[in-house]
Amino acid sequence: MIKIAVAGTGYVGLANAILLSQHNEVVAVDIVPEKVEKINNKISPIADKEIEEYLTAKNLHLTATTDAESAYRDAEFVIISTPTNYDDEKNYFDTSSVENAIETVLAVNRNATIVIKSTIPVGYTESIIAKYKYNKILFSPEFLREGKALYDNLYPSRIIVGSPQGVDDMKTQAEKFSRLLQKGAIKQEIPTLIMQATEAEAVKLFANTYLALRVSYFNELDTYAEIKGLDTKSIIEGIGYDPRIGNYYNNPSFGYGGYCLPKDTKQLRANYKDVPENLISAIVQANETRKDFIASDIIRFLESKKSDKPVVGIYRLTMKSGSDNFRQSAIQGIIERLLKCSITVCIYEPTLSSSVYMNCSVIKNIDIFKSESTIIVTNRFENQLKNVVGKIYTRDIYSRD
Ligand SMILES: NC(=O)c1ccc[n+]([C@@H]2O[C@H](COP(=O)([O-])OP(=O)(O)OC[C@H]3O[C@@H](n4cnc5c(N)ncnc54)[C@H](O)[C@@H]3O)[C@@H](O)[C@H]2O)c1
């Protein structure tokens, strides 16, 4: 069995650790002791059906630890899946957690092949190879969706591994790593591409920016329809029958959000610094314009209720039904805009334990929430709201995506 260490046990790290620990000896590393303890007790730190099932029911060769050095010391592969948040001051990803993991690996094991799974700027792998004078570094973009993290690795759309330019040994290691991912998957005949690391980095950012473009496109279509008094659904249905466009991933929303799309689009825009472009910047800008429009549309709807004490109720902070977190959700941008207009806002979000969030009161009881809210704003319609349809503000058409 091959020895593998995984740095970071979030959505990406844990899904990969579980997938690979079916046939290899895997040690998962995190800086948060509670996560490590949960994994060792076969409890998933994130809500994910397949992860929960695999942790308890499968014979995995998986342990977790906070002792990074011991985990990296004799691993053949060290996978890095730590956060790369966007730093608004530097206008670039903050890759310090990735470098931190690389430095720890290099201090204890200079034979390891490091595989970066975190999303990184285009050109990052080559720059880090030059910085550390260590060329055993691969980049393998991750395409999983939160909530389907392990599922998307068991049935991957594709496997991509990028190796540094001109390093033949690393191309061999890239192929070996791709076979490890294939072996852990259930899907057969997975499209597998070995390419240059810089190209693999571009694949990840261009893929997510396309998704953001598509979301923004249907959102701007919806803004147009709403202002001109047209039926969004008829228009979307009409264009979707063109097989080149298709009837999927076309449900209007308050904006794209989640952990990845907002930051990955901004990073790609930063990578275009010396390259002519209009579209990439427009995608980032379109999301802000959409949220401005939604906030003003909500205020119009609120005013139509002619209430003495108007309150906007926010139903859930998550992006989609079934999600277990609300990192960078568009609704939070809407709340900020409403608060700037001195609108009273309350929130219903069962996963929040605090009683105040973003300076808004958090109401735990759904019935009290419904009765105290003049209108209820929700990104996606849920059955729980059926008895208050007259109060609902949403741009959801299909109850999906
Ligand atoms: N979440 C997604 O849907 C998704 C999809 C594709 C790619 N990605 C990318 O993968 C990376 C990780 O995303 P995520 O959602 O899994 O993040 P996450 O926040 O869920 O998990 C990251 C984990 O890394 C741990 N960590 C931080 N620094 C560490 C260190 N030095 N050593 C060990 N552990 C450390 C954190 O405690 C945390 O548990 C990001 O670059 C992200 O852009 C995420």
Sequence-ordered list of residues with C-beta below 8 angstroms from that of 224, at least 6 positions apart, any chain: 230
Residues 383 and 317 occupy one common structural domain: yes
- Would residue 54 count as lying in a domain? yes
Are 55 and 33 in contact, with CB atoms under 8 Å apart? no
- Would residue 200 count as lying in a domain? no
Averaged pLDDT for residues 286-304:
98
Identity of the amino acid at 393: Y
Residues 8 and 130 occupy one common structural domain: yes
Check which CATH number belongs to the domain holding 133 and give it: 3.40.50.720
Residues 16 and 146 occupy one common structural domain: yes
Residue that has been written with the tokens 């409890």 in this structure: 43
pLDDT higher than threshold 90 for residue 323: no
The Cα–Cα gap between 273 and 96 comes to: 22
Residues 181 and 269 occupy one common structural domain: no
Sequence-ordered list of residues with C-beta below 8 angstroms from that of 8, at least 6 positions apart, any chain: 29, 30, 80, 81, 82, 83, 97, 101, 118
- Would residue 401 count as lying in a domain? no
Residue pLDDT, tens place only, 48-93: 999 999 999 999 999 999 999 999 999 999 999 999 999 999 999 9
Residues 164 and 216 occupy one common structural domain: no
Residues 82 and 181 occupy one common structural domain: yes
Residue pLDDT, tens place only, 250-280: 999 999 999 999 999 999 999 999 999 999 9
- CB-ligand 1 contact for 30 (6 Å cutoff): yes
- Residue 252, pLDDT score: 97
Ligand 1 pocket mutation pick from 37, 81, 204, 327 by most atoms within 8 angstroms of CB: 81
Residues 214 and 185 occupy one common structural domain: no
- Would residue 142 count as lying in a domain? yes
- Would residue 113 count as lying in a domain? yes
Residue pLDDT, tens place only, 11-50: 999 999 999 999 999 999 999 999 999 999 999 999 999 9
The Cα–Cα gap between 257 and 294 comes to: 14
The Cα–Cα gap between 131 and 147 comes to: 36
Averaged pLDDT for residues 322-345:
93
User: Please, what sign has the CA dihedral across residues 138, 189, 143, 282?
Assistant: positive
3-class DSSP state of 348: strand
| DSSP per-residue string spanning 209-240 | HHHHHHHHHHHHHHHHHHHHT--HHHHHHHHH
Identity of the amino acid at 231: D
**Measured in angstroms, how far is the CA atom of residue 141 from the centroid of ligand 1?**
13
- Residue 301, pLDDT score: 98
- CB-ligand 1 contact for 260 (6 Å cutoff): yes
Pick from 307, 359, 366: nearest CA to 338:
359
- CB-ligand 1 contact for 147 (6 Å cutoff): no
Specify burial of residue 65 (Cβ count, 10 A radius: 0-12, 13-18, 19+): middle
Domain that holds residue 177: 3-190
**pLDDT band at residue 400, thresholds of 50, 70 and 90?**
confident
Task: Report CA Rg, the chain.
Answer: 23
pLDDT higher than threshold 70 for residue 339: yes
Residue pLDDT, tens place only, 380-393: 999 999 999 999 99
Domain boundary among 190, 220, 239: 190
Residues 255 and 186 occupy one common structural domain: no
- Residue 318, pLDDT score: 86
Residues 225 and 121 occupy one common structural domain: no
- Would residue 216 count as lying in a domain? yes
Residue pLDDT, tens place only, 111-138: 999 999 999 999 999 999 999 999 999 9
- Residue 9, pLDDT score: 98
Residues 261 and 121 occupy one common structural domain: no
Domain boundary among 190, 224, 240: 190
Residues 213 and 170 occupy one common structural domain: no
User: Exposed e or buried b for every residue in 236-270, given b needs 16+ CB within 10 A?
Assistant: beeeeeeeeeeeeebbbbbbbbbbbbbbbbbbbbb
**pLDDT band at residue 322, thresholds of 50, 70 and 90?**
low
Question: How many other C-beta atoms are found inside a 10 Å radius of the C-beta of residue 400?
Answer: 12
**Measured in angstroms, how far is the CA atom of residue 124 from the centroid of ligand 1?**
17
- Would residue 400 count as lying in a domain? no
pLDDT higher than threshold 90 for residue 397: yes
Residue pLDDT, tens place only, 84-97: 999 999 999 999 99
Q: How many domains does the chain have?
A: 2
- Residue 355, pLDDT score: 96
Ligand 1 pocket mutation pick from 115, 260, 263, 265 by most atoms within 8 angstroms of CB: 260
pLDDT higher than threshold 90 for residue 324: no
Residues 310 and 380 occupy one common structural domain: yes
- Please state the separation of Cα 24 from the chain's center in Å: 27
Residues labelled catalytic: 260
**pLDDT band at residue 321, thresholds of 50, 70 and 90?**
low
- CB-ligand 1 contact for 48 (6 Å cutoff): no
- CB-ligand 1 contact for 84 (6 Å cutoff): yes
Domain boundary among 190, 225, 247: 190
| DSSP per-residue string spanning 150-171 | HHHHHS-S-EEEEE-TT-HHHH
What would the two tokens of residue 36 be? 């490590």
Averaged pLDDT for residues 128-152:
97
